[in-house]
C-alpha cells in the first residue's frame, strides 16, 4: 500500500500542538483577583475554551467598556510574562515533529489566536519547539481568518509549497469547515495525542 507524501504540515496551536488551558486559567484567575473579582477555577476551566475577552462578562457580569478593557489588558500582560509557562506540549509532539523534520517535512503553525498572538513564539521557545516551526500565521495576518482558508494559503506561500502536498492538522471541526477550497486533506488530534496516520485524514470537510 502506497501512502501519499506530504511535504508540508500545517498545525493548529492550542489543543493540537500544545495544551494551553492551564495557562489561560492561571492568567485569567490572577487578572480577575487583582481587579477584585472572585471566580472559581471550575468556571474558568469551563469558559476559557473561548477567548477571555469574549467570556469575561459571562463570568463577572456586565462591565463598563473601560473596566473590561483594563481587565483584558491585565490578562494579556500576565499571560505574556508568566502565564504562557503553564503551557505543555501535547503527548507525542516531540516524537512526531522529530520524525517529520528528519524526513524533510516543513512545519508551519496556523492559529486563530488574536488576543495572545505575541506570546506564541515565546511559548515555542520555552517548550523547545521553536526549532521545528518554519512559519507562524495568526488570525492577525489575514483579512479572513479561519474558517476561511486564507491563513493556510499564506502559510503555503511562505513555505514555498503547494496545497496538493500539504496536510492540515487541528483539534476542532470548526477550523476545517472550508478547507475543501484549498484542495488538501485535514485530520484531527484526538484527546491531546498528536499523531498522524493515513486513517485519520479527511479530503472533505469534517462535520
Share of residues in the chain with pLDDT > 90 (%): 70
15 or 193, which is more confident? 15
Which part of the chain is CATH 3.40.50.1000? 8-20+88-202
Q: How confident is the model at residue 205 (pLDDT cuts 50, 70, 90)?
A: very low
Q: Is the pLDDT of residue 178 over 60?
A: no
Contact indicator for 5, 165 with CB cutoff of 8 Å? yes
Instruction: For CA atoms 125, 128, 133, 134, give the dihedral sign.
Output: positive
**Count of other CB atoms within 10 angstroms of residue 177:** 15
pLDDT (tens digit per residue) in 5-32: 789 999 999 988 999 999 999 999 999 9
**CATH fourth-level superfamily of 8-20+88-202:** HAD superfamily/HAD-like (3.40.50.1000)
Longest Cα–Cα distance in the chain: 61
Q: How confident is the model at residue 190 (pLDDT cuts 50, 70, 90)?
A: very low
pLDDT (tens digit per residue) in 104-147: 999 999 999 989 999 999 999 999 999 999 999 999 999 999 88
Looking at the domain 21-86, which fold is it?
DNA polymerase; domain 1 (1.10.150)
Which part of the chain is CATH 1.10.150? 21-86
Among candidate residues 120, 174, 167, 168, the one with its CA nearest the CA of residue 146 = 174
What pLDDT is recorded for position 5? 75
Q: For residue 28, give the 3-state DSSP assignment.
A: helix
Look up the pTM and report it: 0.83
Report the alpha-carbon distance of residue 89 to residue 104 in Å, rounded.
22
- Which grid cell is 72? 483584558
Amino acid at each position: 500500500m502506497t501512502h501519499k507524501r506530504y511535504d508540508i504540515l500545517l498545525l493548529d496551536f492550542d489543543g493540537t500542538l500544545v495544551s494551553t488551558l492551564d495557562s489561560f486559567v492561571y492568567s485569567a484567575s490572577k487578572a480577575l483577583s487583582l481587579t477584585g473579582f472572585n471566580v472559581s477555577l471550575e468556571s474558568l476551566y469551563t469558559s476559557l475554551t473561548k477567548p477571555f475577552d469574549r467570556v469575561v462578562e459571562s463570568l463577572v457580569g456586565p462591565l463598563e467598556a473601560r473596566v473590561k478593557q483594563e481587565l483584558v489588558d491585565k490578562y494579556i500582560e500576565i499571560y505574556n510574562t508568566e502565564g504562557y509557562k503553564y503551557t505543555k506540549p501535547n503527548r507525542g509532539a516531540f516524537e512526531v515533529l522529530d520524525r517529520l523534520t528528519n524526513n524533510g517535512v516543513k512545519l508551519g503553525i496556523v492559529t486563530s489566536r488574536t488576543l495572545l498572538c505575541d506570546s506564541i513564539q515565546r511559548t515555542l521557545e520555552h517548550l523547545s519547539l521553536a526549532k521545528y516551526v518554519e512559519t507562524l500565521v495568526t488570525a492577525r495576518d489575514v483579512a479572513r481568518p479561519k474558517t476561511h482558508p486564507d491563513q493556510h494559503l499564506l502559510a503555503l506561500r511562505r513555505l514555498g509549497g503547494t496545497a496538493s502536498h500539504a496536510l492540515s492538522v487541528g483539534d476542532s471541526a470548526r477550523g476545517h469547515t472550508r478547507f475543501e477550497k484549498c484542495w488538501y486533506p485535514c485530520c484531527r488530534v484526538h484527546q491531546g495525542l498528536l499523531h498522524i496516520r493515513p486513517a485519520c485524514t479527511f479530503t472533505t470537510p469534517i462535520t
